[in-house]
A and B are shown apart, each in its own frame.
Chain A
Amino acid sequence: MPFYHFVLKTRDSHIPDPDGGEWPNDFAAHKEAGLVAQDLMRNQEVKTGSWRIEVRDQDLQPLSEILFAEIDQTIAHFPAELRQRHILASRRMAALSDAILALRKTLGEVSATINQANTVMALVAGKRG
C-alpha cells in the first residue's frame, strides 16, 4: 500500500508528520487530510482559516493541499460571494505566512553565515597578530 506523509502549515510553522502512514491511494490520503483539517479547525475556525495540510508521497513530494477555509462548514450558510472572499483572504494570508517563514529562514541562515565568518576572521586576525 502506498505510503503518505502530511505537513500541517500554520501561520508560524510547518509541522511535518514524521511517521506517515499507509492509504490505498492518493484520493484516500487526500480525504484523510480533509478529516484531519476538520479535527484541527473545529471550534477555532477563524484562527485556522489560513492553515493548510499538504499531502506528500513517500519521497516527500507534494501531492495536494487543503486550505482550511475551503472546507469550513461554519461559513457554508454564507452567500457564495462572501465565502469566496473569505477563502481568497485566507489564501493570501497563507501566502504571506509562507513568505514570512521563508524570510525568517533566510535571516537565520545569513546570521549563521555572519557568525561563521566572524569566527574565521577572528582566527585569521589571531594568526596575523
Chain B
Amino acid sequence: MPYQTEIARDAGVSSRSPVAGGEVGKGNDCFSALSSSALSLLKPYLTEIVFREGTILWDPRKLSSEVYFPVSGLISIILPASDGVSVEVGSISRQAAVGAIFEPGQVDFCTQGVVRLGGSFIRMPGSHLLFAAKENSEIENFVTYCRDWILMQAQQMAACNAVHAADMRFCRWLFQACERMDTDTFHLTQEMIASLLAIRRTTVTLIAQKLQAEGLIQYRRGKIVVLDRARLRAAACECCNSLTRQHWPSTRLLNTSALKLHGQS
C-alpha cells in the first residue's frame, strides 16, 4: 500500500519549525524532522506494514535489504549465542530507523532484528535510502544519526550487561521503553524479557513480583503496566541517564534543522 498520503498528513511537513519530542506527528518522528524536499525523495518508496511480535526482520544468515521505520512497534537488535541464550544490544522505536542503513559489505552483521512489540512500521529499500543520502544532506544526517544511535546503544548495553544487576537492567529496559514508546502498558511475556536480558524466565518472574510488591509495576499474564515511572527510573541503573531524548536521531535531526534555520535568519 503506498504511504504517500499518510506521510504527508502525519509528518506535518508543511511546517518545518522544530517541535518538542512528545509533540511530533503520529508517524515515525524522523519524518516530522525532515524538510518537505528531503521527505519527497523518500516518499515514493515508503510502504506501511504491520508486524506481529516475534517477527524476525534479519539475522546473520539473511541480511535485510529494507530499512524499517517503527511507528507504533519496537524492534530489538539481538545478539544470539550458540547455546540458545540471547541478549539485546539495542532497540529501535519511532525515533529512528534500522535495517539496511549501512553500505552493503561495509559491516559484517552478527545481530538479529526481532519485532519485540508488534505494531505498524514503514519500510523502504535500503538502496534507495542510501542513494538519497548521497543526494541530500538532511537524509545523509538522518542515516548517520541512526548509525550513531545503534553504536551508542551497543556501547551502553555492553557496559550495562557487564556491570549492572538484573533487576536494575529490567527497570532500565522498561523505563526506556516507556519513554520511547510513550506508553506505560506493554504486552510482554516472561520469555521475551528473559531473552532481552539474557536471564532465566524464573528470574524475570521473581523480579517482576518484587517490583509489583514495591508498587512500581503491575504484572499479570504477559501484561506489564508501569504504575510509577519516576520510581522505576530510580530503581534502574545509571544507563537511563546516558541515552536520553537528546541522543534520539529524531531529536538530533530537529536540532540540526533548527540550527540551519537559525543560521539562515
Task: Give the interface of A toward B (CB within 8 A).
Answer: 6, 8, 10, 13, 15-19, 21, 32, 35-36, 39-40, 42-44
> A15, B213: Cβ atoms under 8 Å?
yes
**Would you give the shortest CB distance from A66 to chain B, in whole angstroms?**
13
A21 nearest CB neighbor, chain B only: B202
Residues of A within 8 A of B162 (CB): 43
Residues of A within 8 A of B166 (CB): 39-40, 42
Docked CA distance A86–B165 (Å): 21
Residues of B within 8 A of A8 (CB): 206, 209-210
Residues of A within 8 A of B209 (CB): 8, 15-18
Residues of B within 8 A of A42 (CB): 165-166
- B192 interface residue (CB < 8 Å to A): no
Other A-B pairs, 8, CB within 8 Å; known A8-B206, A43-B165: A8-B210, A15-B209, A15-B210, A16-B209, A17-B206, A32-B202, A39-B199, A40-B165
In B185-235, which residues have CB < 8 Å from any A CB? Answer: 199-203, 205-207, 209-210, 213
A-B contact count (CB 8 A): 47
- B163 interface residue (CB < 8 Å to A): yes
Task: Give the interface of B toward A (CB within 8 A).
Answer: 162-167, 199-203, 205-207, 209-210, 213
The secondary structure that dominates the A interface is: mixed
> A13, B202: Cβ atoms under 8 Å?
no
Question: Do A10 and B202 form a contact, CB below 8 Å, given A39-B166, A42-B165?
Answer: no
B199 nearest CB neighbor, chain A only: A39
Q: Counting chain B CB atoms within 10 Å of each CB, which of A8, A13, A15, A16 scores highest?
A: A15
> B200, A32: Cβ atoms under 8 Å?
yes
